[in-house]
Each structure stands twice: as structure tokens, then as C-alpha cells.
Amino acid sequence: MKHTFKGGIHPREGKHLSKDKPIREYLPKGDTVYPLSQHIGAPAKPVVKKGDEVLAGQLIAEAGGFVSANIHSSVSGKVKAIEKRLTASGSKVESIIIENDGLFNSVEMSGTDKPVKELTREEVIEAIKAAGIVGMGGAGFPTHVKLSPKEPDKIDRIIVNASECEPYLTSDYRRILEQADGVIEGLRIVLAIFPGAKGIIAIEDNKPEAIALLKEKLAGDSDITVNSMKTKYPEGAERQLIYVNTGRYINSRMLPADAGCVVHNVDTIHTIYEAVRLGKPLIDRIVTVTGDAITDPANFLVRTGTSYQELIDAAGGYLNDPAKIISGGPMMGKAIYDTDMPVTKGSSAILCMTEDAVSEFEPSACIRCGKCVEVCPGRVMPVNLANAAERGDIDAFLKGEGMECCECGCCSYVCPAKRHLTQTIAGTRKLVLASRKK
Amino acid sequence: MDVQSIIIAAAIVGAVGLFAGLLLGIASEKFKVKVNETEVKVRECLPGNNCGGCGYPGCDGLAAAIAKGEARPGSCPVGGEPVEKAIKEVLGSGSKDAEGEADAAEEPVKLVAHVHCRGTCDKAKEAYEYVGPKDCRIATNSPGGGPKACANGCLGFGSCAKVCQFGAIRIVNGVAVIDRDKCKSCSQCVATCPRGLIKMVPYDAAGEGNLALVECSSKDFGKDVKAVCEVGCIGCGMCARNCPVEAIKVENNLAVVDYEKCVGCGACKAKCPVKVII
């Protein structure tokens, strides 16, 4: 039997819409927008000003601290303005706007072709830092920080998160099918920084073609294994992923490094490969545009800064009027109310649904069935936490280990009374985090 | 059963009772907790809501502080004058000094909480339909900080009304409204509002009062404010230019009143093009 974790759910997958659509490159036509804060940590500082001419791949904002990341222009053109723009996070963020001249003239990029064994740690981390790579699964944690743990010798597992457990998303799947060599090379580069570590590509067993391809390419390789995992949401949540692949358990107060692990998304690993081998900064990513309201669901290789609306148009526009548009997957993504927002380093999908499955139901009283407790992968009791949160009782919330919640949404998904459990708990977690920062 | 055994049983129970009684009596004298009598009397004068509005941990805390002379007799914002008078009487019987000191201290202006927004459902736009818990503090985590298009507007889910122990806050047409006569200045709502729209203002500024009050908290540019709300401060500065005592100025695109200077002449109210000053 395959290893798995406690709890979890099996939402309807919806991946069939876009899983067989090859990656299509899409070049932006309109202006591109680069929010200065598209990662965790300090916002980047602009190094260009209004009126400057820039080339694709040129640095336009540099990291504002150690935990921060560089931002590069993905098109050539002129800096139109530096002002606040709406992003998928829902708030207005200071952004650099570049008027796209449509030529895509690029700066010269050059990487190193040294064998993996000769690459030094500093060299690799410097290349990653310069390329402005952040976790592309959505959280946006700067990768060079992740790769500089306090005790690098204790790291013994590098896990590539290819589980893609969110329904509808197919960008990682397509990346593996079409660019498996880049992903494997990226992993080898990361392994070169941690000589004592072994690589694991963790992938759910609902993607047999990808598993077969990786196994074939890695036949006889002793450093990298492909781990096929039982399909279950949230398999790709960092803590659950580490538990499934290594049997080690971490809580919200620990980092993956405390369990000797470093976890990277497939897209991030591929971008590391591009940064080291080609010298190419993070200026594009794969975005799945899907949902039953989209005419022709697709996987686009798209430049950062491209407007969501352009991508929706490129996917044939709306088949039916969308009732709900979500940036990211349906479980953890954010509903958006305006499509005039840019693709950032962490945008994985645009999901357009014809029916709003949430607003149809009025929440009713808890019937004490215990389903939320059963499915919670964080091993907490969502109903108690939500009750404490509704009363505003932060002490009870913390005592119930409310901070262990990873906001995966399983409890809300199964709740027969349709209570807004995740939303309530997540909101209270943010209040606690904000009060800690003060 | 004979009479004798009944008497023996009664005597044993009686003796045990007497012994226990004596023991408790001695213990209560020996381990007596000394209480400040003034403190007890002051505590009796206080309302007992334990709202924390005075800044002390409940009414007991304030009573202790008043008895020690650390707080003024009028420190209870809820009780107001009658309570202050009663406490002064208590203190007066204990020490003459406390009374003299309290009289010498200047009487502070009565402050009341006020919601600095009047973007009601018909005046301010909603960016989207919100589905989720009806609680401002949780709704503020949804995109844009809540469904209201203005990022500084009252969300109207009534988190402030829920914490108000005096029933002074109601939600009227999507915006919280505070009754200045019911408000006891405990500031619980000020701490609760996730958007920081509630501030303490002089009694004479809130509602029907004379002093100027800017009914908006948006620090956005005038154009952006206009796009989302009909009654937002656009930061034009007309009020600041027409104030005879320089009590109002525009900071970060928002008019701010300095109540140390405001004389309540009404010049700003008359000149404000969006009528956001009342």
C-alpha cells in the first residue's frame, strides 16, 4: 500500500479539460505590469524610472533585503509609470508598468555549461538570486533563501513537488511531459548544492504518463527516485508531502529544513535549470486557463506581467458567462473580481466557472457530524476553531492549535451544513499573525 | 434502637460541628486577606461592566488604582459624573487631599467614538458579491480587504456593534453609526475595527455637534475616491484654505481636524464641495 497522510479529500478533478493541451507560448500584446511585491518578504526596489527604455530580461527592481527577490522585465519597451495596481492578492500593490513595443528584444543571456559536479554552492545560489526565482507553486518564498538553510549538511532529501493535487491545474503535468529533461537537470543542480542529499520527484498516481516518462529517463539513476503517491488532496501541501515521502512530521513552528528536506515546485526547479544553464531570469511561467466557462482551455507559456484578460481572450474567451473567476486552483486559489491584473511569478491558473458553487448555499448550524475533523490533514478540529474564531476568542483558538491549519479547504468542502470553516479559520490566523508582527 | 444511642449520635455530630466551626473561625481570623476599605467602597460605586475602557483590568483594577491615588475619581468613562461624584464622596471621607487634587485637575473633554465613513449602500460601490462569515475582521482577508470598492470604507458587518456593551452602535444602510449619547467612551470598538475607521472625537464634534468632523478615512487620490464613493473626501483642501484658525489641514489626501484649535465656526462645512465635513 502507498504511504499517505491522515485526512484529505477527493474533489472532482476537472483536469481532463486541459491535460492533453500542449504548452502554447503566448506573447503579450498590451502593457505589462510587474508588482514590486510578488514574493514573501520585503518588496523589491525599482531601479528604473518613468521613461526608461528596457529590454526583455533586464532587471527593473532589485531585492529589497535578503528575504526578497529581483524582478525583471519580460518584454522590451518603455517604462510607462510606477503606480499602484490591483493584483490577484486582491490589494493594490506598487507596480512598474512597461509599455510593450512588441519586439521582445532581449538582453544577452549566458549560463554555464560546467558539469553538475563542478558547480559550486555560491555559483548556483548567486545565479538563482540574480534570476529572482521564488517558489512558483503560489507561496512565492524566495528560492535562494530556501536553499541557504542554517545547517546545509543536515539536508538529506530534495523533494520536487509534482503532485499538483489541486483540481483543474495541469501546468506542472505539461511541464514534465514536455520538458522533463529541464526538470531533471534542475534537480541535479540543486542536488549539487547539497552533496549528501537524495532527490525525490513526488507525483500523484493520477498522472501515469508523467510517472512512466520520468521513470524511463531516470532508469538506473541512484540519486533521484520517482515516488508515485496515492491521489488525494492536499497531497502537495508541504507538511503532508514531507510526511508522505519521508515519514517525518513537521508542524507550523518548524521549517522543512528541520526535517532535513527542501521542497520545490516543478516550475521552480525548471526555472533554476534555466537560470543556471541559460542565464535566463524568471520572466515566464506556465499558466493553465481552464474551467467550464472557457471556450478552449489551454496551458500557456506566458511572460510575467501579462494581463489575465489577454490570456482569457487567447483561450478563446468565454463560452458562457462566468459566475466566478479564480486565480489559482479551486481549493486554495483566490476569487477575483477584475481580470485586469497581471500574471505574477506565483500565478498558476485562471479558472472560470459558470456556476458559483459557494454562494448557492446558506450556511446553517453545525450538526456535529465530525466530518471536518475526519478530513483535516492538519490534525486539528476545524469546528472548534471556527467556533472560537466566531466568538473572537483568540486564546481558545491558539489552544486548539489553530495555527496548524494550512487553509487547504477540506473542512469547508465536506461540511454538510456548508459552514464557512476555512474562511473563518484563515481570517483568524491572519489576525494572529498580524498581531505577532506588531 | 434506644434513646441512648440517639443521644450519643447527636452529641458526636454536635461535637464535630462545634470543632469544625471553631477551626474555621480561627482560620478565617488567622488567614484574613487585608482589604483596603476605600477600595471596596470605590468598587461599589463603579458600574461593574468590566469593559476595560479606563485602561485598567476591569472595575476591580480601577478601584484599586483610585484608592491608591494612581487614577482620577472620574476615570470611569462609563459611569460619568454620577459615579465620579459618588467616588469623590467616598474618597472625601477618607482623605481631604484626594478631593482637592481632583478638583484642581482640569476636567477632560468628553470623548465619544465615531465612525469616520458614511459610504452607505447607495453612496459607495461594492466591488463584488461577498460570500462568507459576516464579520469585518474575517471579511478583511478577502480580495481587496472586503467587498466594498473603497479600501477605507466601513464594511458594515458590525464587528464593532458586537463588541459594544452599551448598545450604542447600529448598522444603518451598510455603515456603522454610533449614538453619541449612548457611547460610554470605552474604546472597545476602536480596537475592533479592522480598518481603523473608528476614532475618539469630542462629544461636540460627533452627530449634531458644532465642531468640524471629516466623515471619511480614505487616503486615496481624489479621482480614485470619486470612482468608488459619492461622499468621500477628495483632499481638495478647500476646508484648510477657509479655516480662520488653521484647525483643519489635508494630510495624505484626507482632511484632518485638530480639535485643540477648532472653534466650530462652520466655515469648512460650508465650503466642502462633497459635504463630507459635518
Q: Per residue in A25-48, pLDDT tens?
A: 999 999 999 999 989 889 999 999
The verdict on a CB contact (< 8 Å) between B132 and A92 is no
Cβ contact B197:B148 at 8 Å: no
Q: Which of A93, A308, A407, A420 would best serve as a mutation to test chain B binding (most B beta carbons within 10 A)?
A: A420
Question: With an 8 Å Cβ cutoff, is B219 touching chain A?
Answer: no
Domain ranges, ordered by start, for chain B: 37-104, 111-271
> Is residue B211 very low, low, confident or very high in pLDDT (cuts 50, 70, 90)?
confident
For residue B168, is pLDDT > 50?
A: yes
- A356 CB neighbours in chain B (<8 A) are 131
The verdict on a CB contact (< 8 Å) between B143 and A389 is no
Question: With an 8 Å Cβ cutoff, is B33 touching chain A?
Answer: no
Q: Per residue in B1-21, pLDDT tens?
A: 789 999 999 999 999 999 999
Per-residue b or e along B213-233, where b marks 16 or more CB atoms closer than 10 Å to that residue's CB: bbbbbbebeeebbeebbbbbb
Angle at the Cα of A99 from the Cα atoms of A94 and A105, rounded to 5 degrees: 115
Cβ contact A191:A262 at 8 Å: no
| Shortest Cα distance, chain B CAs vs residue A219, angstroms | 46
Q: List residues of chain A with CB under 8 Å from any CB of chain B.
A: 86, 89-92, 334-338, 356, 358-359, 389-390, 392, 420, 423-424, 426-428, 430-431
The residue among A130, A157, A156 whose CA lies nearest residue A144 is: A130
Tell me, what's the pLDDT at B10? Answer: 96
Per the rule left: phi > 0, alpha: psi between -120 and 50, beta: everything else, A182 is alpha
| Shortest Cα distance, chain A CAs vs residue B169, angstroms | 18
Domain presence at residue A388: yes
Domain presence at residue A423: yes
- B131 CB neighbours in chain A (<8 A) are 356, 358-359, 420
For residue B96, is pLDDT > 50?
A: no
Q: Which residue's entry shows cell 479539460?
A: A17
| Shortest Cα distance, chain B CAs vs residue A192, angstroms | 40
Question: With an 8 Å Cβ cutoff, is B145 touching chain A?
Answer: yes
Question: A221, A243, A278: which is the final residue of a domain?
Answer: A278
Distance CA A102, CA B198 (A): 49
Percent with pLDDT over 90 in chain A: 65
Domain, as residue range, for A429 = 371-437
Number of domains in chain A: 2
The verdict on a CB contact (< 8 Å) between B137 and A431 is yes
Say if residue A380 is in the same domain as residue A272: no
CATH code at position A231: 3.40.50.11540
For residue A311, is pLDDT > 90?
A: yes
Q: Which CATH fold would you assign to the domain B37-104?
A: 3-methyladenine DNA Glycosylase II; Chain A, domain 3 (1.10.15)
Tell me, what's the pLDDT at A1? Answer: 47
| Domain B111-271 grouped into CATH 3.30.70.20 | yes
- Asked whether this complex has an ipTM greater than 0.85, the answer is no
For residue A415, is pLDDT > 70?
A: yes
Tell me, what's the pLDDT at B198? Answer: 93
For residue B104, is pLDDT > 60?
A: no
Which grid coordinates belong to A195?
552533496
Distance CA A235, CA A174 (A): 19
Mean per-residue pLDDT of chain A: 91
Nearest to B138 among A86, A91, A427 (CB): A427
Domain presence at residue A400: yes
What is the side-by-side order of every strand in the sheet holding A224-229? Answer: A224-229, A198-204, A157-161, A261-265
- A91 CB neighbours in chain B (<8 A) are 143-145, 151
The verdict on a CB contact (< 8 Å) between A337 and B145 is no
Domain presence at residue A176: yes
| Shortest Cα distance, chain A CAs vs residue B194, angstroms | 9
Question: With an 8 Å Cβ cutoff, is B137 touching chain A?
Answer: yes
In one-letter notation, the amino acid at residue A368 is R
Distance CA A61, CA A65 (A): 12
B16 vs A241, B12, B20, B150, CA distance in Å? 68, 6, 6, 75
The residue among A314, A381, A282 whose CA lies nearest residue A73 is: A282
Give the strand pairing for A284-290 and A349-353.
Answer: parallel
Tell me, what's the pLDDT at B106? Answer: 55
Output the pTM of the full model: 0.80
Question: Which residues between 155 and 184 in chain B have a beta carbon less than 8 angstroms from any beta carbon of chain A?
Answer: 162-163
> Is residue A139 very low, low, confident or very high in pLDDT (cuts 50, 70, 90)?
confident
Tell me, what's the pLDDT at A369? Answer: 94
Cβ contact B199:B205 at 8 Å: no
Domain presence at residue A390: yes
Domain presence at residue A64: no
| Shortest Cα distance, chain B CAs vs residue A367, angstroms | 18
In degrees and rounded to multiples of 5, residue B172 shows phi and psi of -115, 115
| Shortest Cα distance, chain A CAs vs residue B257, angstroms | 27
Domain presence at residue A140: yes
Say if residue A273 is in the same domain as residue A383: no
Of A138-152, A165-179, B90-104, B207-221, which gets the smallest average pLDDT?
Answer: B90-104
The verdict on a CB contact (< 8 Å) between B138 and A334 is no
For residue A323, is pLDDT > 50?
A: yes
Which grid coordinates belong to A73?
522585465
Tell me, what's the pLDDT at B100? Answer: 46
The verdict on a CB contact (< 8 Å) between B137 and A427 is yes
> Is residue B98 very low, low, confident or very high in pLDDT (cuts 50, 70, 90)?
very low
User: Please, how many CA atoms are within 13 Å of residue A55, restricted to the half-sphere of its CB?
Assistant: 9
Tell me, what's the pLDDT at A438? Answer: 66
Question: A234, A256, A278: which is the final residue of a domain?
Answer: A278
- B142 CB neighbours in chain A (<8 A) are 90, 335, 423
The residue among A354, A351, A352, A358 whose CA lies nearest residue A421 is: A358
> Is residue A2 very low, low, confident or very high in pLDDT (cuts 50, 70, 90)?
low
The verdict on a CB contact (< 8 Å) between A334 and B139 is no
Neighbours of A84 (CB within 10 A): 14
Question: A259, A278, A297: which is the final residue of a domain?
Answer: A278
The verdict on a CB contact (< 8 Å) between A358 and B143 is no
Which grid coordinates belong to B269?
462645512
Per-residue b or e along B235-254, where b marks 16 or more CB atoms closer than 10 Å to that residue's CB: bbebbbeebeeebbebeebb
Tell me, what's the pLDDT at B154? Answer: 92
